[in-house]
Structure 1
Amino acid sequence: MDKAFVLINCDPGKEQSILGQLRKINNVVDAQGTYGVYDIVARIESDSKSQLDNIISDQIRKLDHVNSTLTLIPIDEQNIIPDLIPDVVPDVIPEQKKPLDESSEDEEEDLDENDYDDETKLN
């Protein structure tokens, strides 16, 4: 079974009308209004790619008030061979964190409020 998701842009205010028409088309399994760049997403299932093409080109794209479509065809997971996808290994390993130099730690501990002048305190 072949599947496709069709993202649809339509005229403002015509979403409900188009949704109703989509739901009447054979092989449109689901249609939903969406927020974002596209107004509607429709899921289509058919027995062949040529039937998918017919539904999208000759039926959905020709609906009144449909301005544009974008078709997404899912990848068939059975055709993906896991060995072809390499494991992600970082090519750079950061250096281990080094402890602060002991002399700089001692210097910071010895400083107190009296070590700063009035101008430094304001900043």
Structure 2
Amino acid sequence: MDKAFVLINCEPGKEPSILKQLREMKNVVDVQGTYGVYDIVARIESDDKSQLENIISDQIRKLDDVNSTLTLIPTESEDVKSDLREIEPDVIPEQKKPLEEQSSEKEDNDLDDEPEEDYDDED
């Protein structure tokens, strides 16, 4: 089964009608409105890669009020199962500690605040 994620930019305020149209399409498995650079993300699946391309170019991109799309095709093979919910962060936010100021940096900064003296070598 081939799948793709299609990120969609659309005219402001037209998201609800585009979401409705996408949900009615046969091979659109999931669709979600988003905040950020893209307004909508749709996941589509098909048994045939050429059919997947046709869905994107002939159906989704030709919807009224769709300005642009970006298609992401996963690189994993079918025998590798992926569940994004299983991804855990490397650092748990509650365990983060503030950076401590290094003493050498503090000393260097203190030296910068002192006025410079002029030395005259003509004694």
TM-score in terms of structure 1 length: 0.62
Quote the residue 1:85 is aligned against. none
Distance 1:44 1:37, change over 3 A: same
Distance 1:25 1:78, change over 3 A: closer
Within a 5 Å distance, the mapping from 1:44-59 to structure 2 comes to 44-59=44-59
Quote the residue 1:35 is aligned against. 35
**Between structures 1 and 2, the one with greater helix share:** 1
In the alignment, the residues of structure 2 paired with residue 47 and residue 75 of structure 1 have an alpha-carbon distance, to the nearest angstrom, of 16
- Structure 2, unmatched stretches of 5+, are 81-113, 115-123
In the alignment, the residues of structure 2 paired with residue 78 and residue 23 of structure 1 have an alpha-carbon distance, to the nearest angstrom, of 25
- Structure 1, unmatched stretches of 5+, are 81-119
Aligned-pair Cα RMSD in Å: 1.7
In the alignment, the residues of structure 2 paired with residue 71 and residue 29 of structure 1 have an alpha-carbon distance, to the nearest angstrom, of 15
TM-score in terms of structure 2 length: 0.62
In the alignment, the residues of structure 2 paired with residue 20 and residue 45 of structure 1 have an alpha-carbon distance, to the nearest angstrom, of 18
The Cα of 1:78 is off from its aligned counterpart by 5.7
Seq. identity, %:
79
